[in-house]
Amino acid sequence: MKFIHTLRQDIHKTLFNYSFIVCIIITAALCFTASVYTDMNTGRTYMVLDAIRELDDADYLKNNSFGFINVFGCAMGGYLAMFLPILAAFPFIPNFCSERNSGLIRLTIFRTGKYRYYFSKFISALVGGGLAVMLGYLIFGLITVCIFPMPSEFPVDPFMIETGFEPMDNSDVLRNCINGLLGSFIYGAVSTVPAFFFASFIKNRYIITCLPFMLTYLFSTALTKHGQNLLASDAPDSWDKAVKAFSLTPSSLVGIIGSENRNLQIIFYGGFTLVSLIAYIVIMNTRTDKGE
């Protein structure tokens, strides 16, 4: 019960502050910068914002790429995927750094106990980052569902009828959106882990948030390059290996609910989260000032 009380206080401090609101708003705004369609004739790439500004309902119905389900599915890529390691840390890091720099961390640990403090901070960081990203994604979805057509509004393709393909109905769309929202929560939660770990030995909030941004960018770029090299090779299993490499990029966590490589993603990012938590506890325990 004591842990629940401590956790409730930490989650309250994480969710009820301006940083949490800022994270939601920026997440929703960056979703509109995602690319949804590239015109092969002109080479023009349309972001969600471009499609809203320049096209109308008749234009949307000419191309399935402007359907709501595709727009919603593409939203977590682009600039949002780049800046999410910074955004996801917004709800947790400012309060944590203020607590440390003011000297309250020593008193808090003395009152709650070391491990109750560690685990409570860890869970509140994951909940804050995951919930902020999910709510931002939800706001984007609620706006775009009123603008872009549903699958049932597009003309029926005769080829799909001949092949027995059934178009998605509203219940399928709702299920996909719920899976995407759950995936965005996991994506946001995992994105807070590097900043949480660095907070064990770094006091500067700007370094804590920017360092994961750089490392995540390098990691994603390396995985993408590795996957592209595999696709370009002639190895018989290169396709499967490339798909697995792409599935380990952080942004792929949005689709983890329906992913064929879900077990691989769980093992990799679950292990990463667990190792980061253990390292955080070890570092904090070896510090005589308990992080102050």
Contact 253, 269 (CB under 8 A): yes
**Among 71, 73, 35, 24, residue whose Cα is nearest residue 188:** 24
* pLDDT computed for residue 160 by the predictor: 60
* pLDDT computed for residue 277 by the predictor: 96
The amino acid sitting at 225 is K
Residues in the chain, pLDDT under 70: 157-167, 287-292
Helices (H) and strands (E) in the chain, counts: 14, 2
Supply the angle between the helices 205-232 and 238-247 in degrees, to the nearest 10. 170
Gap between the Cα atoms of 281 and 272, Å rounded: 14
* pLDDT computed for residue 105 by the predictor: 79
* pLDDT computed for residue 123 by the predictor: 95
**Among 178, 175, 92, 181, residue whose Cα is nearest residue 136:** 181
Condensed to tens digits (0 to 9), the pLDDT of residues 31-80 reads 999 999 988 888 788 999 999 999 888 888 888 889 999 999 999 888 89
Contact 119, 10 (CB under 8 A): no
* pLDDT computed for residue 162 by the predictor: 61
Which tokens belong to 280? 């955080």
Gap between the Cα atoms of 269 and 216, Å rounded: 13
Gap between the Cα atoms of 255 and 81, Å rounded: 13
Gap between the Cα atoms of 11 and 92, Å rounded: 9
Share of the chain above pLDDT 90, in %: 55
**Among 44, 132, 26, 31, residue whose Cα is nearest residue 72:** 31
The amino acid sitting at 143 is I
* pLDDT computed for residue 264 by the predictor: 94
Gap between the Cα atoms of 168 and 178, Å rounded: 15
Residue 168, exposed/middle/buried by CB under 10 A (0-12, 13-18, 19+)? middle
Place of tokens 């059934």: 166
Gap between the Cα atoms of 23 and 187, Å rounded: 14
